Amino acid sequence: MPTFLSIDLGAGSGRVIAGSLVSGKIGLQEIHRFDNPGTDLPGGSFWDILGLFREIQEGLRLAASRFDDIVAIGIDTWGCDHGLLDAHGRLLGLPHQYRDPRHEGMPEKMHALMPEPELYRHTGITTNFYNSAVHLFAEKQLDSPALKNADRLLFIPDLIAYWLSGKMAVERTIASTSQLLDPATGEWSWKVIDAFGLPRRIFGKIVAPGTVLGPLREEVRRATGLGGVPVVASASHDTAAAVAGIPMEGGDQLWLSSGTWSIMGLETRQPIRSDAAFAARCCNELGVDGSVRFLKNIAGLWLIQECRRQWALEGADLGYAELVALADAAEPFRAFIDPDDPVFSAPGDMPGRIRDFCRRTSQCVPQSKGEVLRVATESLALKYRVVLDSFRQLSGKDFPRLHAGGGGIQNAALTQATADACGIEVLAGPVEATSCGNLIVQMIATGHLPDLAAGRRLIRGSFDFQTYQPRQSGDWEKALGRFRGILA
Ligand code: ADP
């Protein structure tokens, strides 16, 4: 059976997943899972890129021992981070993590050279501390020897693909997270690159997702036992892969990638770079098949993950299903938080912070675990509604349905609350949207599928999907009024 390998790297852990085509369906198997610990050293916070590559090779070795018809390999990762290479293709130092403090103070300096609204008009991306533009600008300010000697910039999935195949290319979806790309052309924005004094030579050819790079290098074949399997530049940004993996039909669809972070967006054809879109701090990233992902990052299941971690420290080891049941049993609409308030962004005592927020905003203070979880769940759903309303305004369009994928859709209380708060149907699935998207791009690239629509139909027919209809609209509308009141 033809099998495709999806290498999915998150900022906390990585996986190698095999997707096999069996009787007209995709069957997924996790082959290898590993941690992706960043390390703080003198001079910065770094990724252990060699350790990651070793784990990837181990995953490929395990896959080679289990499957005899491996057709292709594709990589997707978190956004923004990159490596710099010299003219001989040697990596110049460890890639920094996007949370490396070198970003501090840089946005102000950048905006003195090009004001943020102008930057947004060129790139469709607001300035965020994690953007590659900010980190490259920091390297320039710090007179970094790596940048001085660099001949090529590769984003993390491009770098892994290069080490696997020996072929260098910059894939478009990951490049579109950098704040250095023009989302209308899908090419580098030289105006922005020049304004920041970045060396033009490092910005190489951009390729579309689904470009076949070439077969595995001889050394990788020996290390893994795989033959000359082609490496595909898949949808290399994990959100782009997740959106490709959520089966939507027709234009201008509303989607939610629900995981540790929630990303809500529109799949559309043209970037939206209006002043109102800038004011709403929405970003235009690029997707598969020439699509634009017009999106907004929202705090996601992180809130619930951190509650769970805190309670485990206090001796109560609760599974996610138990947490959902506790939230379900608690009284509705007691109090709300703004999930995106900076007080919730760092790891820590999340239940305590939720209580503090409610106290500070003169609301009922949730006491039990169920009450705390109910506040977090309803507030997330209401935040999705606020973002949906802004998308309606910014695009001038309405949306009959929200397509939600990712691990977070397993939280049925939140998914139902999302339908209720948004007042529209939620079609939930698949849980493994990112791997699915990565896999179908490879299938298209190798001629196993004709196009994205066929890939999405394949996903629709391969996994369980749940439809959540909206309920109790009156109560939720009242809650929305109160929720807007507590937003900063
Ligand atoms: P990431 O974005 O880190 O890849 P996932 O897509 O795996 O995250 O989603 C992780 C989140 O999904 C968890 O924080 C948890 O809240 C939620 N989740 C995972 N499994 C379940 C489950 N069985 N029931 C309810 N929620 C779940």
Domains and CATH numbers, the chain: 3-236 (3.30.420.40), 242-429+465-488 (3.30.420.40)
pLDDT in tens, 419-462: 999 999 999 999 999 999 999 999 999 999 999 999 999 999 99
Distance 339 CA to ligand 1 centre (A): 17
Q: Is 290 left (phi over 0), alpha (psi -120 to 50) or beta?
A: left
pLDDT in tens, 94-137: 999 999 999 999 999 999 999 999 999 999 999 999 999 999 99
User: Rounded CA gap, 28 and 326, in Å?
Assistant: 31
pLDDT at 488 over 80: no
Distance 388 CA to ligand 1 centre (A): 22
Ligand 1 site, residue 410, Cβ cutoff 6 A: yes
Pocket test for ligand 1, best of 6, 239, 320 (most atoms within 8 A of CB): 320
Atom of ligand 1 nearest to the CA of 261: 2
Q: How many CB atoms within 10 Å of residue 185?
A: 9
End-to-end CA distance of the chain: 54
pLDDT in tens, 301-358: 999 999 999 999 999 999 999 999 999 999 999 999 999 999 998 889 999 999 999 9
Cα-based angle 73, 75, 79 (whole degrees, multiple of 5): 170
Closest CA to 160 of 86, 217, 227, 245: 217
